Amino acid sequence: MKVLTVTLNPALDREIFIDGFKVDKLHRVSSKEKMTLSPGGKGINVSLALAKLGIPSIATGFLGGYMGRILLEELRKASNLITTNFVFIKEETRENIAIIDEKSHTITEINSPGPEIEEKDIEHILRRYAMSLTRVEAVVISGSIPVNAPRDIYVKMVKMAKEKGVPAFMEVRDPYIITLYENDAMPDVIKPDFRASHTLLGKDLKTLEDFVSAGKELLKTGAKLAVLSYFIDKDVLVLDEASYIIGPTIEIDYSHLLGTGDTYVAGMVYKYLQGERDMLEIGKFGYVAALASTRTAEKELPSLDEIETFMQYFEIERVG
């Protein structure tokens, strides 16, 4: 097994394609192909993307109830390269809804908060996490945590990975990053989840300088690479020695951006597993993987050949 992915708050993803979507209006979906149901949550999405690239992974996290069982079955059907090791909880797994409007080029996302967990569930998952760490070369920890879970669970997970010498890749929102920062537990690769707001360590990022200096702050507590999404289709890659801005040379349909962050992380992990240790190359490959995943609106993941094709469609410039 190569990778362990952690999704503490997974979801069943429901994608609905509605052209000309408007609030406060009745919409009839034209065919069943325009409504899809798939396993989701950031870590699970990374497992799915890695499977498409031929990389086996263990997916762990919390699942519960009817939704949890559907998610597990769908995940098992998706690929034999994904081994499941979930902790089952009392409450129901959540459902995430994305309304994709290809006519207006918009995505409207509604993510529910998910279930509460019991104290014993935390102890249960940490022990299984420790066991799985002995079998993998990298760990991906992404997404939100259950509403009542202790905020320091990610701190514990990153520290356990570091103790075992397993590099950690994370994509999470700012409140979690603040806790990691305060506890000196930054993962090797950190990609702040900016979908709700461009805020890092509690500060709003506006200028390119803001992005670079916030990224450098993350490196001070242990990160080797910080990937900061810079206004939709560009990213700022912050490394110890320099910072770069990377962007596409082709036009991107913004309604095709669903799940690209997870493909980005999967791309970086893939490159690391191929033996690449230059963080800039790892960041570039992740960006191109994400770029390749924008070719369709559906959460359809790119193959290695498709990623290679997109290697010609980006530009990178040193910014600091």
Partner 1 sequence: MKVSDVMVFDISAVFEDETVERVIDMMSKQFVTGIPVVDEDMKVVGFITDNDIMKASIPSYFALLQSASFLPDTNQFVKNMARIREHKVSEYMSKPPIVIKEDAPLIHAADLMMRHNIKTIPVVDNDGRLVGIITKIDVLKAALEGGLE
Burial class (CB in 10 A: 0-12, 13-18, 19+), 302: buried
Residue 148 backbone zone (phi > 0: left; psi -120 to 50: alpha; other: beta): alpha
Binding partner 1 by CB under 8 A: which of 8, 89, 205, 258?
89
CB of 165 to partner 1, least distance (A): 16
CA-closest candidate to residue 187, choices 213, 212, 218: 218
Binding partner 1 by CB under 8 A: which of 8, 45, 50, 86?
86
Site string for partner 1, 19-58 (x = CB under 8 A): ---------------------------------------x
CA-closest candidate to residue 211, choices 185, 229, 223: 229
Judged by CB under 8 A, the number of residues near partner 1 is 21
Amino acid found at 281: E
CB of 125 to partner 1, least distance (A): 12
Q: How far apart are CA 65 and CA 71, in angstroms?
A: 10
Q: How far apart are CA 256 and CA 245, in angstroms?
A: 21
Binding partner 1 by CB under 8 A: which of 36, 84, 199, 221?
84
Q: How far apart are CA 245 and CA 283, in angstroms?
A: 11
Token output for 117: 């967990």
Residue 127 as a binder of partner 1 (CB under 8 A): the answer is yes
Nearer to partner 1, 66 or 231 (CB): 66
Nearer to partner 1, 122 or 246 (CB): 122
Nearer to partner 1, 65 or 248 (CB): 65
Binding partner 1 by CB under 8 A: which of 22, 27, 34, 76?
76
Paired with 235 in beta bridges are 229, 246
Residue 311 as a binder of partner 1 (CB under 8 A): the answer is no
Which residues bind to partner 1, rule: CB under 8 A? 58, 64, 69, 76, 80, 82-86, 88-90, 120, 124, 127, 130-132, 134-135
